Amino acid sequence: MKTFNVPVIYRSPLISAIKNQRKQQDRMKKDFTPTELDFGPLRILLARHFGFCYGVENAIEIAFKTVDENPDKRIFLLSEMIHNPHVNNDLLDRGVQFIMDTSGNQLVPWESLQPDDIVIIPAFGTTLETEQQLASLGIEPLKYNTTCPFVERVWNKADQIGKKNYTVIVHGKPKHEETRATFSHSASGTPTIVVKDIKEAALLAEFITGQRKPDEFNALFKGQYSPGFNPATDLQRVGVVNQTTMLATETQAIADYIRQVMMTHFQLTEATAGERFADTRDTLCYATNDNQTAVTGMLQESADLAIVVGGYNSSNTSHLVELCEEKLPTYFISSPEKMLSAKAINHWDFHHKEEINAGSFLPEKEKVTILLTSGASCPDALVEGVIRRLLSFYQLEHKADEMAIID
């Protein structure tokens, strides 16, 4: 796989040494057991896969190269480059401006942009409407495009099944940038609807089977379907694609559920299921799969708690937290500094969208075991920082330097 020129501030000698060692031992990526870092009183189990994915590194390389090569131009990002505050703040510090926030609210008026301004499309991609807006201002919309190739693959799959007269069901968070972009591209060619979870999929199924009347549709799915969507006619043939950072098992559960509903309602067999349901399971992102599977493997081990590092508005990171929370106390932090001491930590409650303080997060026992992972937009340097911070509570920070020279 291609390697990228990512700023050294995001790299980590310690994490690179660990990842390289695991890669040598497991080139086919079939071993999802964690890496054990035993420091005596502190034992850290590091997930097999975590941190920057292909799409994130690609976006960072393009963005920083663009800044370096255009010192005399105004440079804008449509919205956050990725969902990591450290990377976004570094770009802001270098003069980059965000046109919109992550919810699509305008921060810089369109009319203030000029044809010679540079506008970078972030890794999530953007809507066709935004591309048209940029073009109308004389700005070439795709000249500085960092859209993740795996997101584009979802768009291509939606386009393929749309051309075969299937309606596209997008599993995603309706307000997320990537979901809005996928919805826009899909809706341009075929009826499209977004479902955020299995509960909404079950509601949609009631329109497929006729259990609910079409006039109830707008109230239940307002703002989540393409113009002119008719549940009476547009749910006869469907396929499921996803926001690539969703929980992979949930996307598959939704696809399996909708497929079974179609088979039962239309009295199909396995051989004829394709007449009503398009198989699109290959839209799941490799990094999402790998990171989530690595967490599942990590959770097979006994531990006292889990720490997940990443941006608080990061979808893929929140799903790693979700997995860990099912098994043990879990702390979602954006940086090492959130661990104030061995007895206090500020962590994000993504269910209620607030940062809370917890006391005595490290148990007082002879040996503490911690599961550690990070999201796909989190720099390895932050993960190393978390390890060093934890070691400092045991006066063992020097152990990190010794480990960084692993062959």
CA atoms of 277 and 60, how far apart (whole Å): 37
CA atoms of 391 and 397, how far apart (whole Å): 5
> Hey, is 239 helix, strand or coil?
strand
CA atoms of 50 and 380, how far apart (whole Å): 9
Ordered alpha helix ranges (H), 49-176: 54-69, 85-93, 128-136, 149-162
CB 375 within 8 A of CB 309: yes
CB 143 within 8 A of CB 169: no
CB 46 within 8 A of CB 373: yes
Per the DSSP assignment, residues forming a β-bridge with 358 are 345
The count of other CB atoms within 10 Å of the CB of residue 303 is 20
Per-residue CA distances from 387 to 90, 232, 329 (Å)? 23, 55, 18
CB 378 within 8 A of CB 311: yes
CB 115 within 8 A of CB 137: yes
Residues 6+ apart with CB under 8 A from 24: none
How many separate helices (H) and strands (E) can be counted in the chain?
13, 15
CA atoms of 189 and 159, how far apart (whole Å): 7
Q: Mind telling me the catalytic residues? A: 178
CB 79 within 8 A of CB 102: yes
What's 319's DSSP letter?
A: H
CA atoms of 327 and 57, how far apart (whole Å): 31
